[in-house]
Each structure stands twice: as structure tokens, then as C-alpha cells.
Amino acid sequence: MDAVIPMPALRPWVADVTLMRPDSALPLVRLPDAATALVYRRTGTRNGDLRVVGPRSRASYHPGKELRMCIRVRLRPGAARPVFGIPVSELRDQAVPLTDLWGDRAARLEHRLGELTRPDRILHGIEDVLLESLRDGADARDLLLRQAVELMSTTGERVATLARRLSVSERHLRDVFTDRVGLPPKHFARIQRVRTVLAGAGTAKWAEVASEAGYYDQSHMTADFHTLMGVSPAAYRAGRLPSATPCTQPPSAP
């Protein structure tokens, strides 16, 4: 998996861009993720499709697959609403064809991308369309959400405390998260903590990782990790993963 730097105009909206090379010999692990992604997959020389992968409330494990090309553009939490034009809660734990959301516009884009062979040019075509969708800029809800996401990611504040800091009601904050992120703020915070554990799992002791991620203690971390990942942190690090299921089967609710 190779990281690619998105165009400067999209960096406030795009978390990362990756060129992936799936291998059928390796299991496909989809981690809990508060971001929504636009994925371009190509199985043959020209035939490719675009899919929108919504926020994932918990991990899922699938059999490996091989694709000729796979480009993933992960949008920052909150960016998907203006791009796709629907509440992001409708995309939660879903992977839907872009044509279901954009209709003929998506079909024309897939046709244009199918005429290209170089991954960088395909990515540029995708970025141009995303930039066009975001041309109106952020509204007041987007700005509120950016502040809330930043604070929850760095301070781990409770929802009530965060709402007071931002001078909004808890209900309004929950509504903004559900509409723009697709997840309630508390579940967003849980995902962020688990991803912090995943990032530090191989470099420090579990007690230190738990403290860094904002858990009360190691037991709290282990229980939360198991709920979202399906296994304990130690089992995941050792490669003892849950049984793979077909990609068409949605993850069970946490």
C-alpha cells in the first residue's frame, strides 16, 4: 500500500490517499474508521467502478482478493456530506456504488477513468470531481464539526464538556456528528481510541498504550478493543484474527 499526497486544494478535506495492491493470499482487514472513503477498483484493463465506503463502526475480516488497481481517497470526518449529498449516517457500515448516489454523473466519471491507464492520472480525475463537489466551501456546521473532531481527537473530552466548550447543546452536537460523520460523538471517540491502540500496539507496553489512548486502565482498553475489533489487543498483534466472512455481509452492530 503506497501513500500518495493529495492535491493542495483538497488537503483540508482529504485525510489520505493510498494506492493499494490487494493480495488474495492475505486476509482483508477493515478497521473501525470514522472516515468515509471513495474507492476506485479495476479488475481488468479498463473496466473499473467507484464505490463509497461509509464509516465503519467496528472491524470486519474478509477473504483476500486481487485487483488490478485500487485507489482509495479517505475523506476527513465531515467532508462526505457535501460531496455525496446525503446524511452520512445512511452510509454507515455500507459500501455502495457511486452511481447509486450520483447516477449518470458517476457513470460518466467511471467511463472517463476507464480510458486512462496511469494511476496518477486516474487519481487526478477523481480529485477534480471531488474539488468540484466541495467548491462551495464549509458552512457553519462544517466549521463546528472540525473544531469538535480536533478537540475529541486530542483532548478526549466528554461530549457534555465538549458541547459547553463549543457553546452548543449536546443534542445539536450529536445531530451534527450523525449527519456529517455518520456516527454519534461517543462512538467516534471510541474508534479514535482504538485506532490509537492499533498505532502503538507494537512499540510500547499495553498499560502505556492504554494511558496514551485515554483509557481509564488496561482492562478498559482491552474490553473496548475487543468490542470494536472482535479480538483482544494481544490476539490481534499475534495475528489471531476472527474468521473471514464474505464482503457482502455487513458487520454486526457493536
The pLDDT tens digits for 12-48 are 899 999 998 766 557 788 999 999 999 999 877 678 8
pLDDT at 223: 96
CB atoms within 10 A of CB 17: 21
Amino acid letter for position 64: G
Give 51's contacts (C-beta < 8 A, 6+ positions apart): 38, 39, 41, 95, 96, 97, 98
The pLDDT tens digits for 194-246 are 999 998 877 778 999 998 888 989 999 999 999 999 999 999 988 899 988 87
Statement: residue 123 has pLDDT above 90: yes
pLDDT at 253: 41
Q: What is the pTM of this model?
A: 0.88
Widest CA span in the chain: 54
Sorted by where each begins, the domain ranges of the chain are 2-133, 140-237
Q: Which residue has the higher pLDDT, 125 or 249?
A: 125
pLDDT at 251: 46
CB atoms within 10 A of CB 230: 18
The pLDDT tens digits for 57-68 are 999 998 877 778
CATH of 140-237, one of 1.10.10.10, 1.10.10.60, 1.20.58.100, 3.40.140.80: 1.10.10.60
φ, ψ for residue 186, nearest 5 deg? -65, -40
Statement: residue 156 has pLDDT above 90: no
C-alpha cell at 226: 475487543
Statement: residue 248 has pLDDT above 70: no
pLDDT at 250: 46
**Spatial separation of the C-alpha atoms in residues 177 and 159, rounded to whole Å:** 11
Please return the burial class of 103, using the count of CB atoms within 10 Å of its CB with bins 0-12, 13-18 and 19+. exposed
